[in-house]
Amino acid sequence: MANKVLPRNKMNKRYTWNAESVYSSNKAWEKEVKQIITDLPTIKKFQGKLKDSPAVLLRAMKAYEALISRAQTAAMYAVILYSVDTTNQQSAGMRSKAMGMYGQVASAVSFVQPEILAIGKSKINKWIRENKNLKMYGHSFEDLFRRQAHVRSAEVEEILGMVSEPLSGASTSTSVLTNADFKFGRIKSGGKVLDITQGNFDSQLMHLADRKARKAAYEAYTDQYVAHKNTLAANLSTSINSNVFYMRARKHESTLSASLFDLNIPTEVFHNLINTFKKNLPVWHRYFELRRKALGLKKVAYYDMWAPIVKKNVKVTYEKAIDLISESLAPMGSEYVATLRKGALKDRWVDVYPNQGKSHGAFSYGTQGTHPFIMMSYTDEVTSMSTLAHELGHSMHSYLTWKNQPFVYSDYSLFVAEVASNFHQAMMRGHLLSSNIDKHFKLALIEEAVGGNFFRYFFQMPTLARFELETHQRAERGEPLTADSMIDLMADLFAEGFGPSFDMDRERVGMTWATFGHLFADYYVYAYATGISGAHAAAGRILRKEPNAVEDYLGFLKSGSSDYSLNVLKKAGINLTTPKAVEETFAVMEGYIDQMEELLK
């Protein structure tokens, strides 16, 4: 890839997401959004009538699903369109319109759950026995009655639906500010002038061998956040207080229990992770000390975490990455691999390369009836190959769920999502480290594993989870959340995590929370760490060729939300109710560190 980041309209269409497979044009999207709002009465006409008969309830559920499905697709289209070019004002307007539309839909369907609850569990179960077409909703209704104590009256639920849009404004404001308005400038490295963008900061600039350039890029990037720390803190504080509002409106004891309750996950799962993470911090200290020695530094700084230890530049093109990922997933079967290859190379699931205005990070997003699209910024590095494998794990999870489940179970929780994505990476490393004899490639792969994937999901995310828990608890106690208090908390947590080999820049490192939009998704970050643990438990079974391991894992991918998250994982041989999987993953990480030490000799 060239160093100069191209504008969106100059990108090769072959490497852009297949937007036209969803809507033929933006005008077609506009027409659909307008029609969705026009069609709101198709569900509202059932209000007050769900108790009439099983047939009426079934028709209402079908109308509910049809409306929600259309709204999800329209919202997804607008979100991705905006994400690939945040400077496009039309896309920004479409995203805003989509959020408004979805708020109206949420308000229109808000009566459904309270009315089902009013019918009563025994009567609903009787109707399910009498009407075979209602049977598919059995688990959904069971889960609704489980959550009954926290579902409010139809009037209150309607209000909660109506406030969803304004209460999500803090996230939108932060995204616009950091992705569209922030200007990071340029740096010089190796005689070249490099733009600093959200798309290339993590994936390219932090991987430069030139330490002065890395430091300059890190400081220029982070200083934009520091300069706007009060606005960013106010936005996150608003989001946290919104979570406290929902907690109290739905009568939960805490924001943590409120968030985990929806997935029927005990809070012990969260605390098990945090306690096991803290217990194993010496493993991380060992890695940071190894990195310090390998780089020849007195102390490592935050911008050294991605500095290349490998002296030889290892390049992997997008097409080559697809080949290697496919080889690694051969144990999953020919159909699995063929689907992945067709999606990535022919059907344009992936928006591949960086462009001006492209949002930073990577994600997989779609709805039943569309492709499971991926937005990323591929840079021909081993790191990008790993990110691609990760997002393809999400996409295959979505693909198989949509193919095998009815709409009511066509989603899956954030808790299980990171298992599927990290599973791909675990399988890829397991295959390539055992088959590739090139020392530099092996070292690059291990460096990406520990310094990239594990550092992000098994170090940064648990640390952010600790930050999130503490800030929510402060808000629950009525304590103010200021920029300086957040910076101090974040800096203290990272100081403990990095240990004695770290050169602490308190304000910049303490500002790290502002660079993670994940914190606007209530108690999501911890699921990265439980996810990587579950992934290695599943991959370990397959790599060891345990009986039925592949079939069990494919069954998990096909299950969607047809059962509770912990139950779905247990069927695949993954138990996250104990610390065992987390401990096993730390053991895997220690094995990588052992290999790195040997290769560096």
The Cα–Cα gap between 416 and 394 comes to: 10
DSSP character at residue 409: G
Strand order in the sheet with 373-375: 350-351, 373-375, 363-365
- Cβ–Cβ < 8 Å for 463, 493: yes
Helices and strands in the chain, H and E counts: 28, 5
The Cα–Cα gap between 64 and 46 comes to: 10
- Cβ–Cβ < 8 Å for 398, 370: no
Six-digit token string for 140: 């959904």
Q: Which amino acid is at 160?
A: L
120: left (phi over 0), alpha (psi -120 to 50) or beta: left
| DSSP annotation string for 464-493 | HHHHHHHHHHHHHTT----HHHHHHHHHHH
Please identify which residue in the block is written with the tokens 């930073």.
360
Please identify which residue in the block is written with the tokens 């990922």.
325
The Cα–Cα gap between 70 and 47 comes to: 20
Q: Is 391 a catalytic residue?
A: yes
- CA neighbours closer than 13 Å in the CB half-sphere of residue 218: 22
Please identify which residue in the block is written with the tokens 């139950």.
567
Could you give the C-alpha distances from 445 to 449, 451, 580, in angstroms and in order?
Answer: 6, 10, 25
Sequence-distant contacts of 242-246: CB under 8 A, at least 24 apart: 242/167, 242/170, 243/472, 243/475, 243/522, 244/472, 244/475, 244/476, 245/167, 246/160
The Cα–Cα gap between 581 and 316 comes to: 31
The Cα–Cα gap between 260 and 415 comes to: 9
The Cα–Cα gap between 275 and 112 comes to: 40
The Cα–Cα gap between 367 and 413 comes to: 14
- CA neighbours closer than 13 Å in the CB half-sphere of residue 48: 3
Q: Which amino acid is at 585?
A: T
Tell me which of 32, 391, 418, 448 is the catalytic residue. Answer: 391
Per DSSP, helices labelled H in 5-88 are 26-38, 41-44, 54-83
The Cα–Cα gap between 273 and 467 comes to: 14
CA dihedral 281, 285, 291, 294 (to 10 degrees): -140
The Cα–Cα gap between 387 and 453 comes to: 8
Please identify which residue in the block is written with the tokens 């404001």.
173
Q: Rounded to the nearest 5°, which phi and psi values hold at 368?
A: -60, 125
Please identify which residue in the block is written with the tokens 């990195």.
291
The angle subtended at Cα 180 by Cα 176 and Cα 184, nearest 5°, is 125
Known catalytic residues are 391
